[in-house]
Amino acid sequence: MSTISVPIGEGRTDLYQLVKKVESGVQVILTSHDKPKAVLSAYRQSGSPWRAEVPDNPGRYGDLQSHPIMEDWQ
């Protein structure tokens, strides 16, 4: 992945072109007075969280529904 630095003012003017570069795999660092301030990178949609349909050993986890997780405050 290549990286380019762009002043924020220039990035504001050329946002469409920067988005096209990001889509092609370039990481854009937005700078102000030659100091990095923000990163423009491609959006990656994450998948759904992993879950087992059936626990490997249900007895191991006990009856989680019948016991409160936290005790009442006294």
Cα separation, 33 vs 14, whole angstroms: 18
How much is the pTM? 0.58
Which domains occur in the chain, in start order?
A: 1-42 (3.40.1620.10)
pLDDT digits (tens, 9 = 90+) for 16-71: 999 999 999 999 999 999 999 999 988 887 777 666 676 677 677 666 666 556 66
Contact 30, 37 (CB under 8 A): yes
Give CA 43 to chain center in angstroms: 8
